[in-house]
Amino acid sequence: MLLSELTRKQKLKFLDLAFHMAAVDGDPSIQEKRMLNEKLAEVGDNIIAEYSFSLSDNLEETVEFFMNENHRVRNIVYLNLIELLMIGGFYNTAEYFFLEDIRKALRISVEKRKQMIALTFDYKDLRDKAVRLCAKWLRREFLSKKKGQLYI
C-alpha cells in the first residue's frame, strides 16, 4: 500500500526490509512469497530490474536509512511490513520481535501500530469480499452461459 509514493532509493531499501522480514524465521512461506510478489509489482518494473533479490549484508544500515526519513515514509514502510506479516493471519515470535524492533527504531507509536493493524485487516477483508463477489459473478455467468443464456 502506497509504495508507489516512495522514491527509487526508498523502494529499494523497503525491498531489503521486506525480504529480511520474510526470511527472519527461515525460508518465506508461499503466502509470504505471494505478498512479496505483490510488493514487487507495486514498486514497479524499473525497480525490479535494479533490485538484486538477495538480503542486504547490513540490516541495521537499512533500518537506519529509514530512521532518518520523514514520518510519512516511515509509516508507509511499517504499514507494508505489517501487511506482509499479517497476510496469513498468524505470525511467530521471531517475526513479532523483528517487527517490534523496526517499530521502535522508526519511532512509531503503539497506538499508530494498532491503527495500522486494524487497517490491514480491513484491507484484507475488502479484498476477500471482492474475490467472493467476482467468484459469485463468474459462477453465475458460467451457469447462465451453460444454459444458453447471457447473464448481464
The closest alpha carbon to 104, from 95, 113, 117, 94, belongs to 113
pLDDT of the residue at 151? 45
The interaxial angle of helices 110-146 and 71-86, nearest 10 deg, is: 50
- The pair phi, psi for residue 82, each rounded to 5°, is -60, -45
pTM of the model: 0.80
Read off the C-alpha cell for 2: 502506497
Q: Cα(103)–Cα(78) distance, rounded to whole angstroms? A: 7
List pLDDT tens digits, range 105-129. 999 999 999 999 999 989 888 988 9
Q: Write down the residue that cell numbers 443464456 correspond to.
A: 149
The amino acid at residue 29 is S
Q: What do you get for the CA distance between the two ends of the chain, in Å?
A: 32
